[in-house]
Amino acid sequence: MFAVIEPVPSFPTPATTLQISNVTVFPGASAAFVWQLLDVPNGAPRASGNLSLDGEAYAAWGTDDDYLYTYTAQTLGLTIVEIVPDAPPAPEPTPAPVDEPVVEGGV
């Protein structure tokens, strides 16, 4: 999952993606995570840092990981254009049908 953001000026290219990783949860108390601003198409980091959720912010998170992105964007003063979910797993390939052998009988 990642978020497309309005471009943030950085050298040599603007950051256009927000990515969150290394989420550590302290059940019932708080959570901490790493954020990165990346450029596209290179995916090179342009800025990074750590944030934590506690109190009301932690309670509001629940099980909605989109919240981590909106919370981070609000905290950093970013504007999210789109939150892109992880790609669903590729379906298992369907095996090709096997033709039944033709048995010729004598007359």
Taking only the tens place, the pLDDT of each residue in 6-44 is 998 887 888 999 999 999 999 888 999 999 999 877 778
Q: What is the pTM of this model?
A: 0.76
Taking only the tens place, the pLDDT of each residue in 56-104 is 999 999 878 899 999 999 999 999 999 998 766 556 666 666 666 666 7
Tokens standing for residue 103: 């048995």
- The angle subtended at Cα 33 by Cα 29 and Cα 37, nearest 5°, is 150
Q: Where are the domains of the chain?
A: 2-84
